[in-house]
Amino acid sequence: MNRIALLFLGLFAALAASWTGVILVNQGSVGRLARVVDANEGLAFPQPMPGLAEQGHLVYQDLGCAACHTQQVRRPGFGIDDKRGWGDRHSVARDYILEPRVLIGSHRIGPDLRNVGQRKDGQEGRDGREWHYRHLYDPQLTSPGSVMPSFRFLFETRKIVGEPSPKAIQGLLPASSQPPAGYEIVPTVRAERLVSYLLSLKDSYAYPEAANVYVAKSETQGGAAAEGAKK
């Protein structure tokens, strides 16, 4: 084992080969995916995140939410993501092409959030925003027994000056969480951004590559998702 030139050349070749095979080749395929233009709807998908949601994406990133939550719905028959209602269909590569930081995650200590904006819609008024504020303020209010920590530092308890803020949330909280008289609890701008981001998470458009395993919502609820996927 004395051929040093062979060692260096071999290492370089192996590195270059894996780099080419794993990264460059895929960069030429999934790395170049473009948006799909739907002539019927006159829109291109995926659609860009609204500005506030894009800022919320940064809050999600800096708080390390991805340590507990994935953002990838596995296909029907591979786990039971569909039966948990985590998405109408499995995630595909095109879903992520506009995201500045793709946070698919690797642990499910909490639920998958890829379609959380869809799930909470209409559950508790005001397009689900109130549910998320309560959940972030104290997860035990919405999900008793949850191991998610509270994120009260995303809310501000402040003295009411003039008219109370229309954003105040103490009306959503139990008596034990009420602020002193003359004070109100309002979400900070970071909380507003984070909730906007969560509400924006919904992959509902059926891309051509997702069609063969697309599972309609009615089927999912009927428990026929796996069968539908196998067909």
* Binding to another protein, residues 137-166 (CB under 8 A): 139, 143-153
Q: Would you say 28 or 166 has its CB closer to another protein?
A: 28
Interaction between residue 105 and another protein (CB under 8 A): yes
Among 9, 38, 47, 107, binds another protein (CB under 8 A): 107
Q: Would you say 172 or 225 has its CB closer to another protein?
A: 225
Site string for another protein, 19-48 (x = CB under 8 A): x-xxx--xx-xxxxx---------------
Q: Of residues 47-86, which lie at the interface with another protein (CB under 8 A)?
A: 61-68, 70, 72, 74-75, 78-80, 83-84
Q: How far is the CB of 56 from another protein (least distance, A)?
A: 14
Phi, psi of 160, deg, nearest 5: -75, 120
Contact 116, 153 (CB under 8 A): no
Q: Of residues 84-103, which lie at the interface with another protein (CB under 8 A)?
A: 84, 90-97, 99-103
Q: For the chain, what's the residue count? A: 231
Our CA dihedral for 74, 80, 84, 88, rounded to 10 degrees, sits at 40
Q: Would you say 26 or 178 has its CB closer to another protein?
A: 26
Q: Would you say 108 or 126 has its CB closer to another protein?
A: 108
Q: Would you say 74 or 183 has its CB closer to another protein?
A: 74
3: left (phi over 0), alpha (psi -120 to 50) or beta: beta
Stretch of 10-18, 122-130, 177-185, 211-219 contacting another protein, by CB under 8 A: 10-18
Q: Of residues 167-186, which lie at the interface with another protein (CB under 8 A)?
A: none
> Tokens for 42?
């006159």
Contact 131, 123 (CB under 8 A): yes
